[in-house]
C-alpha cells in the first residue's frame, strides 16, 4: 500500500515552554495560533485528557501566531472564562468558545487591540467552530447540545463574523437530521460535514445551498477537499486511524478509488492524533501535544484515476 507522509507545519518556539496552551488551531490563512496561559494547572477531565485551567481570574492570555515561521504576539486582556476553541476572523479579530462564561454567552470576540468587543451564545456541546476568510463562522454540535439547546438543535449553524446567526441546517425529507458531527472542513463560503447516524457527506454553501451525498467510508475522522477530490482520514471497514481514502465526489455519492497509509514525516506509523482541522485542500493535525502541528496537502497525494 502506498504511504503518504505528513510534513511539519508549525512548532511553538521553546521560549514559551513555561506557559500552558489553552487552545490552538490553524486558521483560514494557514497561520497556527496558540493561546497561552502564564499560570495554570491541569484539571482532570472525565471525557478525555486533562485540560489547562488558569489559577486566577481575570487573566491576560498571550496569543502567539506563527505565519510561515514568522512569530507574532499579542495579549487578550481580562479573560474570565476558559477557552476550548478559537479561530481568527477577518480584520485581526479573534473568536473564542469558552466554558464558565456568564449567562451562556460562551462565544467572545476580541479586537485587534486585545480587548473584548462582543459576547454571544454559540450553543452547547460545540464540536467544531471554524471561520473562513469571507466573514462566515460555522459551528457544529454533538448530541448533548442537539437534544437540549435551541441553538445547537440544528446540528450545524452559520454566523456572520459579528456573531449574528444567519442559517441553521434542516434536513430534507428522507435525510436523517444531525445527531453529532464527527468530521468537518471549512473553505471560503462552504462547509463540509459528516455526521451520525447515517454518516452522509453534507456540503453547505454560504448562500444556503445544501447537497447531501452517500458516503461509503462511514465514520472517518478528518477530510481535505479540492474540486471533485476528497481525502478521508480514518474510518472504513477496519476503522484504521492512519488509513487515507482517496475519493471522487459526484452529484449523489462519494466513490473510493484508492487507499494509502498516512505516516509521520519520518515514516513512523501515525498512532494517535487529536481531532483534525480541515481547511479546504489541507488537513492539519497534532498528536498529544498542541505545540506541534502537521499538515497533509491534497495536491501532494496526487490525483488517482477515476473508477
Question: Can you tell me the mean pLDDT for 177-187?
Answer: 98
Instruction: Give me the domain span that covers residue 248.
Output: 223-307
pLDDT at 102 over 80: no
Residue 301 pLDDT: 85
**Reported confidence tier of residue 241, pLDDT bands at 50, 70, 90:** very high
Residue 34 pLDDT: 98
How many structural domains does the chain have? 1
Q: Which residues have C-beta within 8 Å of that of residue 159, sequence separation ≥ 6?
A: 136, 137, 138, 139, 165, 166
C-alpha cell at 185: 472542513
Residue 157 lies in a domain: no
Residue 297 lies in a domain: yes
Strand pairing report for 254-263 and 3-5:
parallel
Instruction: Collapse the DSSP code of 146 into the 3-class scheme (helix H, G, I; strand E, B; otherwise coil) and give the result.
Output: helix
Tell me the backbone φ, ψ of residue 254, rounded to 5 degrees. Answer: -105, 135
Phi-psi region at 154: left, alpha or beta (left = phi > 0; alpha = psi -120 to 50): alpha
pTM to 2 decimal places? 0.95
Q: In what order do the strands lie in the sheet with 32-37?
A: 20-26, 32-37, 59-67, 70-79
Residue 305 pLDDT: 58
Q: Rg of the chain over CA atoms, in angstroms?
A: 19
Percent of the chain beyond pLDDT 70? 96
Residue 244 lies in a domain: yes
Residue 304 lies in a domain: yes
Residue 101 pLDDT: 63
Report the mean per-residue pLDDT for the chain. 94
Percent of the chain beyond pLDDT 90? 86
Convert the pLDDT of each residue in 43-63 to its tens digit. 887 767 778 889 999 999 999
Question: Can you tell me the mean pLDDT for 181-199?
Answer: 98
pLDDT at 300 over 70: yes
Residue 121 lies in a domain: no
Are the CB atoms for 28 and 279 separated by under 8 Å?
yes
CB atoms within 10 A of CB 222: 25
Residue 265 lies in a domain: yes
pLDDT at 304 over 60: no
Convert the pLDDT of each residue in 207-220 to its tens digit. 999 999 999 999 99
Question: Can you tell me the mean pLDDT for 139-157?
Answer: 97
**Reported confidence tier of residue 1, pLDDT bands at 50, 70, 90:** confident
- CA pair distance 81, 290, nearest whole angstrom: 20
Give the range among 99-103, 156-160, 203-207, 275-279 with minimum mean pLDDT: 99-103
Give the range among 233-237, 266-270, 300-304 with minimum mean pLDDT: 300-304
Give the range among 38-42, 156-160, 172-176, 285-289 with minimum mean pLDDT: 38-42
Residue 62 lies in a domain: no
pLDDT at 227 over 70: yes
Question: Can you tell me the mean pLDDT for 135-161?
Answer: 97
**Eight-class DSSP state of 68:** T
Instruction: Collapse the DSSP code of 13 into the 3-class scheme (helix H, G, I; strand E, B; otherwise coil) and give the result.
Output: coil
CB atoms within 10 A of CB 124: 19
CB atoms within 10 A of CB 37: 23
pLDDT at 90 over 90: yes
Residue 252 lies in a domain: yes
Q: Which residues have C-beta within 8 Å of that of residue 250, sequence separation ≥ 6?
A: 213, 228
Residue 44 pLDDT: 81
Amino acid at each position: 500500500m502506498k504511504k503518504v507522509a505528513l510534513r511539519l507545519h508549525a512548532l511553538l518556539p521553546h521560549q514559551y515552554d513555561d506557559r500552558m496552551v489553552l487552545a490552538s488551531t490553524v486558521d483560514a490563512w494557514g497561520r497556527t495560533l496558540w493561546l497561552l496561559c502564564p499560570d495554570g494547572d491541569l484539571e482532570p477531565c472525565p471525557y478525555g485528557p486533562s485540560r489547562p485551567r488558569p489559577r486566577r481570574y481575570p487573566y491576560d492570555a498571550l496569543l502567539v501566531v506563527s505565519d510561515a515561521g514568522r512569530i507574532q504576539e499579542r495579549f487578550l486582556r481580562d479573560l474570565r472564562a476558559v477557552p476550548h476553541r478559537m479561530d481568527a476572523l477577518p480584520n485581526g479579530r479573534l473568536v473564542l468558545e469558552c466554558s464558565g462564561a456568564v449567562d451562556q454567552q460562551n462565544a467572545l470576540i476580541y479586537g485587534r487591540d486585545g480587548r473584548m468587543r462582543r459576547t454571544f451564545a454559540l450553543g452547547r456541546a460545540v464540536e467544531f467552530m471554524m471561520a473562513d476568510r469571507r466573514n462566515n463562522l460555522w459551528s457544529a454540535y454533538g448530541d448533548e447540545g442537539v437534544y437540549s439547546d435551541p441553538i445547537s438543535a440544528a446540528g450545524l449553524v452559520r454566523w456572520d463574523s459579528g456573531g449574528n446567526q444567519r442559517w441553521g441546517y434542516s434536513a430534507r425529507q428522507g435525510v436523517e437530521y444531525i445527531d453529532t458531527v464527527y468530521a468537518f472542513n471549512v473553505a471560503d463560503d462552504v462547509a463540509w460535514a459528516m455526521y451520525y447516524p447515517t454518516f452522509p457527506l453534507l456540503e453547505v454553501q454560504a448562500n444556503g445551498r445544501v447537497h447531501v451525498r452517500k458516503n461509503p467510508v462511514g465514520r472517518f475522522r478528518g477530510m481535505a477537499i479540492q474540486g471533485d477530490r476528497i481525502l478521508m482520514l480514518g474510518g472504513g471497514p477496519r476503522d484504521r486511524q492512519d488509513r487515507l481514502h482517496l475519493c471522487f465526489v459526484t452529484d449523489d455519492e462519494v466513490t473510493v478509488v484508492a487507499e494509502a497509509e498516512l505516516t509521520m514525516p519520518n515514516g513512523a506509523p501515525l498512532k494517535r492524533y487529536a481531532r483534525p482541522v480541515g481547511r479546504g485542500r489541507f488537513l492539519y493535525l497534532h498528536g498529544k501535544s498542541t505545540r506541534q502541528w502537521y499538515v497533509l496537502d491534497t495536491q501532494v497525494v496526487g490525483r488517482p484515476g477515476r473508477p
